[in-house]
Amino acid sequence: MLPAASRLTHRDEFVTVLRRGLRSGRSRLVVHMHIPADAGGRRAGLVVSKAVGGSVVRHRVSRRLRHLIAPRLGTLPDGAMVVVRALPSAADATSAELGDDLDSGLTGVVRKHAGGARRG
């Protein structure tokens, strides 16, 4: 479970990460990361749209992603705000496949950040 203090909860936080953040796409999900100047703790949020499936499928994907992102938050840079956006193919993915895509996506955005890519 993702602790309350580690969750993105406001729409403006999601919008900021999606618009200003770095992005790394995979076959089942896209990882967005933004580190604001007034960085606090590491936080994450999920976007699982109706394109992924019905409510049962969306909630199953969300639960899996929450379970997968929680232990990985500590590996992110201080103040990182991360949004994981599930793609329709996430509906048929196993937890292991989602975990592999999540690891790969997080590695990609952290590498881009360290390489001095666009910052906002």
For 60-106, how does the pLDDT look when each residue is reduced to its tens digit (9 = 90+)?
999 999 999 999 999 999 999 999 999 999 999 999 999 999 999 99
User: Domains (ranges, CATH) in the chain?
Assistant: 4-111 (3.30.230.10)
pLDDT value at residue 2: 81
Residue 116, pLDDT > 80, answer no
pLDDT value at residue 30: 97
In the chain the first and final C-alpha atoms are separated, in Å, by: 30
| Average of per-residue pLDDT across 25-30 | 95
- The answer to whether the CB of 84 falls within 8 A of the CB of 105 is yes
pLDDT value at residue 118: 54
pTM: 0.90
CA distance 69 to 103: 9
- The answer to whether the CB of 110 falls within 8 A of the CB of 14 is no
